[in-house]
């Protein structure tokens, strides 16, 4: 298979990463090299093999459903590029 520019543009949009038009073709070639490499897996017979869901046999622990932290908006917002009145500020989304 080989990736075309349109596919790269589509996945870049899905990933929310701006890729300039002139970078699409070189990016397609790079990604194609990696995809060709990983497609070796097609040689492995995996019929009836369960996909791994946990690397070590472990069961997730239950915990009490209670508030253990919070009420600290100032620290939560301390790294925000833009904040106001205890909220994160983003570009306008509703006209």
Partner 1 sequence: MKVEIEKLTIASARAGLRAREFSATELTEAAIAVMEAARPLNAMITETPERARAMAAESDRRLTRGEAGPLEGIPIAIKDLFCTDGVQTTAGSRILKGFIPPYESTVSANLWRAGAVMLGKANLDEFAMGSSNETSHFGRVENPWRRADGKPLVPGGSSGGSAAAVAAGFCLGATGTDTGGSIRQPASFTGIVGIKPTYGRCSRWGIVAFASSLDQAGPMTRTVRDAAIMLGAMASVDEKDSTSVDRPVPDYEAAMTGDVRGLRIGIPKEYRVDGMPAEIEALWRQGIDWLRSAGAEIVDVSLPHTGYALPAYYIVAPAEASSNLARYDGVRFGLRVPGNSLPDMYAKTRGEGFGAEVRRRILIGTYVLSAGYYDAYYVKAQQVRTLILRDFERAWERVDAILTPTAPSAAFGIGEKSDDPISMYLNDVFTVPVNLAGLPGISVPAGLSREGLPLGLQLIGRAFDEETLFRVGGVLEEAAGFSARPQTWWKG
What residues line the site for partner 1 (CB under 8 A)?
3, 7-8, 11-19, 27, 30-31, 33-35, 37-44, 46, 49-53, 55-56, 58, 60-61, 63, 75-76, 78-82, 88, 90-93
Could you tell me the smallest distance in angstroms from the CB atom of residue 9 to partner 1? 11
Nearer to partner 1, 15 or 67 (CB): 15
Q: How far apart are CA 8 and CA 19, in angstroms?
A: 9
Q: b vs e for 59-73, b when ≥16 Cβ sit within 10 Å of the residue's Cβ?
A: eeeeeeeeeeeeeee
| Token digits of residue 44 | 């492995």
Place of tokens 């093999």: 49
Nearer to partner 1, 49 or 67 (CB): 49
Could you tell me the smallest distance in angstroms from the CB atom of residue 67 to partner 1? 14
């Amino acid at each position: 298979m080989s990736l075309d520019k349109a596919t790269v543009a589509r996945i870049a949009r899905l990933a929310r990463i701006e890729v300039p038009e002139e970078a699409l073709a070189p990016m397609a070639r790079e990604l194609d090299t990696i995809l060709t490499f990983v497609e070796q897996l097609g040689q492995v017979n995996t019929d009836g093999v369960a996909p791994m869901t946990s690397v070590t046999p472990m069961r997730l622990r239950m915990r009490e459903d209670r508030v253990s932290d919070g009420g600290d908006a100032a620290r939560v917002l301390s790294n925000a590029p833009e904040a106001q009145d205890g909220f994160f500020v983003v570009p306008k989304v509703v006209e």
